Structure 1
Amino acid sequence: MPLSRLSVANQWRVFALAWVVLGAVAVAVAGSIARLDAEAATQRQAATAAILHGAVLKSELERQQAVPAVLAMDPELLALVTAPSAERRDRLNPKLEQLAGEVRAAALYVLDADGTALAASNWREPTSFVGSNYRFRPYYGEAMRDGDAAFFALGTVSGRPGLYLARRIDDADGAPAGVIVAKVEFDALEETRRSSGEPTYVTDRDGVVLITTTPEWRFRTTRPLSETRRRQLAEQQTIGEPLQDMPFAAQEPDLIRIRRPEGTRLYAHEIDTSMGLGWTLHLLWPADQMMSRAVGAARILALLTVALLAGLSGILLRRRQRARNRAAEEEAARSELERQVALRTAELSAANQRLNHEMEERQNLERNRQMLEEELVQANKLATVGQIAAGVAHEINQPLAAIRTQADTAGIYAERGDASAVRRCLDAIAGLTERVGTITDELRAFSRKTRSEVVAVDVEDAIDGALLLVSARLKERGIRLDRSGLTPGLKVKAERNRLEQVVLNLLQNAVEALAGVPSPAIALSSRRQGRKVVVRLTDNGPGLTDEVRERLFTPFVTSKASGLGLGLVISRDIVAGFGGDLTHEPGASGTVFQIVLKAAS
C-alpha cells in the first residue's frame, strides 16, 4: 500500500521502523569498513617497525659475529691452545678483558681441544670461566665439527641469557686446536625496545623465544612441540623445566590476542627474517585501541549521518502531511522554502570547497617551507664541507704518509726477523688508520642529510666534532685556540650533527675574520646558567661594522666577498629549533657570538 494512503500515525510508524533498520545497517557497515581500514593501517605500521627493528638486530649480530672470526686467527690464542702455559694465559686474560669491553661482549673465553677454558675476559671475577669445562655445551661440539656455531642459552654460572658465538681455532696443520667463544647479551637492546610499548620477540628455528621485551616470554614456544623436544631444548638451554607455550588467547593470520595482566590485548603481528641464524623477529603493534577508536568513530559518524538524514526526511514527511491539509498558498510557501534551503546548501558547499582549497594551499606552502629550510641547511653543510675539504685532505694525507713509512719500516724489520719491531710498526699503523677513520667518519656524518631527535648532547663532544673538521685551517693560518674556558660535563638538549654545524659555521666565520690579523686567536667557553647552558665563541679580529651588525641575521647580508649571507641565519634557525637562541654580543674588540641552549640532565 502506498505510504500516502496510510493514516498519519501509521505513516510515522513505518517511517521510524525504516530509519531504525537503515541506521542499524549503516552502523554495521561503517564499523566493518573502519575495522578493515584500521587493520590495514596497523599492519603497515607494524611492517615498517618490524623492518627497522630487524635491521638494528641484524647490524648488532653481524658486528658481534665478526669478533670470534677475527680472534680465531690471533697468534696468541693459537699459541695458548697448542702449548698452554701460565705466562701465555696471564698475557691473554687482560687482552680478552679489554676487548670484551670494547665490543660490548658479556664474555670472551678460549677453550682447548677438550673444552676446558684456558683464558677468559672475566678472569678477575669469582665466577671466572678459567678452568671450567664446557664440552657439554652444544656450541663447543658444533664449532669443533663445523668450524663455527651459534647457540642461545642461560649462562651456567651467571644464569643470564645470551647468544654464544663460537669459532674453531685451527693449528698450522689445519687440525682443530680449540674454540674461541663470545657471549653476547641483549639486555640494553631489550630495554630500549621495551620503552616503545611495542612487544617484540625473536624466535629460533624451533619457535622458541630467545630475545624479548617481555621477560616472562623468554624460552616459551610459539608453535606446538613434542614433550620430548621441549625437554631436550630446556636441557640444552639450561632452563631446567619443559618449555611453556606463549600466552596467545587466539591467533589470526595477521592479528594475535595475548593474555596480559591488564587483560586480553589485540596486536598486529609482523615478522622479519633478515638477521640470519635461523632467527625470526616478531613485532606486535597494539591494534585494539586504534581499531576500537576507528570503529567507534565510524559508527558514531554513520549514526549521526543517519539521524541527520532521518531528521531531514521527517521534516519532509511532516511538510508533506501539512501540505495535503493546507491551501495552495502554503504549497507555494513550502516550494520557496525548499528553494532557499537548496540555495543555502549550494552556498555552504561552495564555501566549504573554497575553505578546503585554502587549507590544501596552506599545507603545500608549509611543506615547501620545510623542504626549503632542509635544503638550505644541507646546502650550508655542503658549502662548509667544500671550504674545509683542502684542510681535511691535508689532515688525512699526513697519517697516510706515515702509514706508508711505517709499512716500509715493518717490511725491513720483517726481513731482519725482528718481530717486536714489526709489531710496533703495526700498532702505529693501527693508530694512524683509526685517526683517518675518525676524520672521515666525522666528515661523512656531518655532510649526511639527516635529522635526528633532540637528545642530551655533550657540549665538548660537539665542539670536538667541529674542530676535527676545521683544525687544519686553524693550523694553516696559525690561529691559537683557547679552550680553557670550557666547563667539562655540560650537556644540552640538541641534535649532535646540527649543533656541530652551528659551531663549525661560527668557527669558519671566525677564521675568515682573522685573515691578516697579527697573533690571531679564538677562545671557546661554556658555563651553566640556571636551566640554560651558555657557549661563547670569541675572536680578536676587527669585529663587525655597524651596518652589518644591525642586519646580521638578515638573509643575504654578509661582510665576506664570496659569502651568501645564509650561514648565521641557518645557524640561528637550528638553535631556535632546539628551544635556544644565537646572538651577537657587543665587545670592545673582536667578535663574540653566544649560543644559549636548554641544559640536559
Structure 2
Amino acid sequence: MAAAWLAASLFLGGVAGEAARRNALEELERQATAGAAMHAAVLRSELEKQRAAPVILAEDPDVARLLAAPDARTVDRVDRKLERLAIQMRAAVIYVLDAKGLTLASSNWRAPTSFVGIRYDFRPYFTNAMRDAKGEFYALGTRSGRPGLYLSRRVDSSDGTPLGVVVLKLEFDALESEWRSSGEPAWVADPGGVVLVTSVPEWRFRATGPMDETRRRLSQTDLTLRPDALAPLPFRTPDGDRPRLVRTAVGEGRPQTWMHSQTGTAMPGWTLHLLTPERGMVGTAVAGGRGLALLITSLLALAAALLLRRRHQAIARARAEEEGRLELERRIRERTHELHEANLALNRQIEERRRAEAARELLRDELVQASKLAALGQIVASVAHEINQPVAAIWTHADTAVLLLERDQTDKARDALRKIGDLTRRIGAITQDLRLFSRKAAPSIDEIRLEDAIQGGLQLTRGRLEEGGISLERIGDGDVNILADQFRLEQVVVNLIKNAAEAMEGQDDARLVLTVERQGERVRLIFADNGPGVAPEVASQLFTPFVTTRANGLGLGLVICRDIIASFGGELDLLPTARGATFIASLKAA
C-alpha cells in the first residue's frame, strides 16, 4: 500500500500540477489580453479626441483669414484662440503653417520656445498634409526636444487652393503616467519595433529586437534620433499575438516573471504591448494542485487502509462467530432436540402466516370486486328501467318507419331510423358502463379526467335516483385532471350515491348535491344529501369494518371506499352537518 500510495501521489501530483499550471496560465492570459485591450482603448480615446482639433481648425474662418492675408490683429486673435484650445485639450502645442511651411501663429507664442516665425517645411507631417490633405508623424521636437505625435490638416481656400497646414502636437506624458500607476509596464511600438510611448522611461526609443535596415525603413521615428538610442529591450519580445511569459526587471526592480500581451491600436502600424505581473500565480497554483493531489491520495490511502483493516477484523469476527454458532448449534442439537423440533414447527407457522398474508391480500381484492358486483346487482333494476324506455321508443319508431315507408315518405322514415340508431347507441353505452364497472382489473394510478369518472358513476345510478324521486344538483366544474384509477373511482361514486339514495328512500324532498372544489394541489369531491344523517355514536366508527345502520348491510362499503381513495393518495371523511350526511373525497390534482 505504501508503494501504491507513493506511485499514485507522484502520478496525480504531476497531473494535477500540470492542470493547475495550464489553468493559471490561461487565467493570466485572459487578464493580460483584457488589460492590453483596456490600455489600447484609452490610447484610442486620446487619439480620437486630439484628431478632431486639426479638422475643426482647418474649417475655422480666422485661420483661413490668417493664411489668406496675415496681419498683426488676425495673428494675435488666432494665437490666443490656439492657446485656449491647447489648454482645454491638453495638447502640447497647436500651430498654423503657411503654404511654405512658415509658422504664422502658435499656442506657445508667449513661451521662449515659440514656434512663430520658424519654418517647418522639411517635416514629414507638413509635406504629407500638403500632398494628402492630412498627416500623422511621431518625432522629437526640434525646439523642445520632447517626443510627440504630430497631427496635421491642410487648409484650403474656397476654390481648393492649399493655403497652409494646421498642426497639433500630442505628448503622451499624462497617458504614460496613468499607465505607470497601474503597475503594469506598457509601451507602444511602431512598425519597425521602436518604442514610442511607454510607462518605463528607460525603454523609450529602444527596439523590440535588433534593428536591421528593413526595420529601420519601417520605423516611423524622426531621423533626429541618435542611432545608439535604438538598442534592443532588456528582454526578447515574443512573436505572435498569443500572450507569452517573459522574465525581466523593470526600472530598478528585481527581475520577475511577466505575461506579455499585445494588440493593435487606432494608429496604423502601432502595436501596444503590456506586461502583466505573474506574482507567483502559476507556482502557487501548481503547488496547490500538487498539495491537493497529495491530500486526496493520502486520504484515499488512509481510507483504504481503514477499510482493509476493518475487512480483516470483520472476517476474523465472522469466522469466530461462525465457529461459535456452529458450536452452539451442535450443543443445542445434542441437548435440546425438542427445541429444534419446535423451531421447525415455528418455521412452518411463519410460512403459513406468509401464505395467510398473501391470501388476505387476495381476499381484499376479491372483497373490492364483490362489493362492486353487489352494488351492480342493486342497480340492475334501475338500469333495466333505463333500458326499457329506449327499447319501447325503438319499437314505436320502428312501427312508424314501416308506415312511413309504405307511404313513400322516405325523409321522415330516415329520421325515425336515425332516432332508432341514437337509442341503440344509448343502450350500448349503458351496457358498456355495466361491463366496465363489473370488470376486475389491476388498479393503475394515472392521470384521468374527474368528469369521466363522475359521468360513469351517474350513468349506472341515474335510474336509481329517478326511481326514488331524488333530484341531483351539480356544483363546480368536473373538467379537472386528477391522479386515480377511473374504474375504482367510479365504484366510490356509485357506492356513495347508492348510500345517499337508500338513506333518503321514501323522502318527498330528497335532494343530492354533487360538488367539485379545487383547493391548491387538492380536488375535493363532495356528496351532500338532505336525509336523516348519521347518528353521532355511529359516525365515530363509521369507517370500521362491519359497522352499518342498515339491517341487510355488511358494513364494508365505506371501508372499501376509504381504502380505494387512500390508494390514490387521498382521504375520505364524513363532514358533520346540521342535516343529512356529507362525504368529502379529497384527491390529488394531476
Q: TM-score w.r.t. structure 2 length?
A: 0.49
Q: TM-score w.r.t. structure 1 length?
A: 0.48
